[in-house]
Amino acid sequence: MIILIMLGSALALSAWMGLSGGRAAKAAPAPLPAAQNETPDEACLGCHTQSGMTIEMPSGEVLPLTINEQDFDASVHGENEVTCVSCHTTISEFPHPEKTADSIRDFSLENYTTCKQCHDEQYIKTLDSVHQVALAGGNTNAAVCTDCHNPHYQSRLTDEQTGELTPEARIHVPETCARCHSTIYEMYETTVHGSALTGEGNPDVPTCIDCHGVHNITDPTTNEFRLASPVEMCGKCHTDEEKMSKYGISTNVLNTYVGDFHGTTVIFEQQSPDQETNKPVCFDCHGIHDIKSVDDPQSGIAIKENLLVKCARCHSDSIPAGFTDSWMSHYTPSVEDYPLVYFVNVFYLILIPFVLGGMVIYVISDIVRRIIDRRKKGAAH
pLDDT (tens digit per residue) in 229-267: 999 999 999 999 999 999 988 888 888 888 887 887 777
Per DSSP, the residues of 29-70 read PPPPPTTT----HHHHHHHHTSTT-EEE-TTS-EEE----HH
pLDDT band at 273 (very low <50, low <70, confident <90, very high): low
**DSSP of 243-274:** HHHTTT--S-HHHHHHHSHHHHHHHTS---TT
Highest mean pLDDT among 12-16, 136-140, 374-378: 136-140
pLDDT tens for each residue of 184-206: 999 999 999 999 999 999 999 99
Alpha-carbon separation of residue 8 from 12, 46, 87, 88, 156 (angstroms): 6, 4, 21, 19, 30
* Range scoring the smallest mean pLDDT among 3-12, 126-135, 166-175: 3-12
| Helical axes 2-19 vs 41-48, angle rounded to 10° | 70
